[in-house]
Every structure is written in C-alpha cells, then in structure tokens.
Amino acid sequence: MSASGLNVAAIQQACSADKATSLDITERLVRKAVGDGADLVVLQELHSTLYFCQTEDTGIFDLAEPIPGPTSERLANLARELGIVLVGSIFERRMNGVYHNTAVVFEKDGSLAGLYRKMHIPDDPGFYEKFYFTPGDANFNDGSSGFTPIQTSVGKLGVLVCWDQWYPEAARLMALAGAEILIYPTAIGWDITDEPEEQARQLEAWVTVQRGHAVANNLPVIAPNRVGTEPDPSGHSDGIRFWGNSFICGPQGEVLARANENDESVLSVTLDRTRTESVRRIWPYLRDRRIDAYGDILKRVRD
C-alpha cells in the first residue's frame, strides 16, 4: 500500500449448507486476494451459509452466533495472520430473541475495528429477512448513528449491507460522516422464472444505483455478491439464482473491475486515495447541498 494507492479486493463465491465448507472457500479466496497484494478484502453478505431467508423457519436461528464467536474468531485470525483489514458478514445472535445481519470489520492485528448491523430489512417473496433480522440501532449513546463509518488503518469504511444499497440516504449519511469508501456486502439474485429481459433490468438497476452513490458522493464503491443457484427449501419456488456481477468502481462511477454471473472471483484493484478530493474540487455536490430545504425528507410522505 502506497501513500496514494490502496489495494482492495472483493470476493465472489458460491456457498454451502455447511459453514466449515463455506468458510474454507472464503479463506482460499482471501489468501488468493492477499497473494495479489490486497490490503483490504471484502466478503459478500452471509458468506458462511446458504441464503436461508427464502423461507421462514425457526430452526434457522440455530445458525446465529454471538460476536465474538466461532466465525468471527476465524475471520479475526485470518486478518491477523495475513495482515489485512477484512470485512466479513455474520448472522449475529445479540441476545435471546434479537438477531442481526451484521457486517464485521477486523483490523490487521485481528482486533474488531467495528461492526455494522443492517438497517434496511426487506420482506419480499424469497427474501423474508424481517422474520430473522432486527434492524440496526439508529442512534447510539455516544451520539453516533447507525450510519457511521468504521475507522481502520486503511481509512474510514462506510459499510452498509445489501438492501441498504437502494437507499441514497444511507450512502449520503456515510459520506457526510467522512467515509472514504462505500462497501456493500450483498446476496441478491433472480427469480429463476423471470423472463431474461426482466432479469437484465434488475441486474443493471442494481449496478446503476450503486454507481450512482459513487457519483453523488464522489466515493469508490466495493460491492461483492454471491453466485450459484440455491433451492427453496420449502419447494414453493424454483429457488434463487444469485447473479454475481460483483464490482468495484471509482468516485465518478467508473467501473474498475466486474465479475461475471457464474464464477467465483477475486476482484483486485488499486484505488487512488487522492481521487475523492480531486473530484470534489470540480464536482462540489456537498458544498451546494440545500440543507435548509430538505426537512421533508424526514417525513414518510409529503402531504
């Protein structure tokens, strides 16, 4: 890592019903990323299990873990051994009856730099997340909000999770709090029965909205997604085909690396740490915000 360059990697993988198998795949790909020079490695959402939210099943809560716990300890040890900042994802058991979809960030020495509990929770066919996840806390006793960057040795990371990526408010609040990179661990895919034209629209909407957050906030974006077809355990649908297409873009939305829709991938890019400052000097969106005129954004609808 140079003064102006940050080597980052996004991991795209298929997952197994067996945690150990999924984490073995994760570790292999993280080691490859480090072999390519990565200082910051970002994993996809819920990378240690299948995407279990296709159905509502109380038995699934047995997969949840405290932090610290077995998965967080394994990720911490990996970060320490390899000397990297590592962003992982855990189905967190915070207490009896309170579970979160939680991104964890480990420092190069294996310490926990911080965590982010997913704020926007979907509840749609095949994505029944409200059954499993409590939203993250909006405000904390220290005055910080749920949209607070995590300080690390490689910079301030604006970590969000999947459904959060559709909300410009989340990206903007991270940017206003000093985030230097927006990060979106993701698990998103197609209804297998959708027409190809609809699948294409959904995929490009997903890429476009996140590139838009990069542009609107002059920040790079790292968005790793999973791949593979995972069956619906209930048999009520044909399951989800996760569309991959993990990507990394720069602060003007320029795509620096993008994976395909089928294969496990390690996307490796060197981000120019000076680009945000130089772009903001010529595209000063934050300077020209009319904060005196945005009060209605806090309303559910405008009357």
User: Which domains are seen in the chain, by residue range?
Assistant: 5-298 (3.60.110.10)
**For position 140, what pLDDT does the model report?**
78
Side-by-side strand order, sheet with 85-95: 112-117, 98-106, 85-95, 40-42, 5-12, 265-272
**Phi and psi, residue 185, nearest 5°:** -60, 135
Q: Is the pLDDT of residue 2 over 70?
A: no
CB atoms within 10 A of CB 82: 19
Q: What is the DSSP pairing of strand 247-249 with strand 155-159?
A: unpaired
Is 156 tagged catalytic? no
C-alpha 145: how far from its chain's center? 18
**For position 3, what pLDDT does the model report?**
74
Selecting among 15, 19, 45, 107, the annotated active-site residue is 45
Average pLDDT value over all residues in the chain: 96
Q: Is the pLDDT of residue 23 over 80?
A: yes
Q: Is the pLDDT of residue 1 over 80?
A: no
By CB neighbour count within 10 A (0-12 exposed, 13-18 middle, 19+ buried), where does 176 fall? Answer: middle
Is 230 tagged catalytic? no
By CB neighbour count within 10 A (0-12 exposed, 13-18 middle, 19+ buried), where does 282 fall? Answer: exposed
pTM reported for the whole predicted model: 0.96
- Residue pair 251/276 in contact by the 8 Å Cβ criterion: yes
Is 197 tagged catalytic? no
Selecting among 118, 129, 180, 230, the annotated active-site residue is 118
Mean pLDDT of 242-252: 98
Selecting among 15, 53, 108, 162, the annotated active-site residue is 162
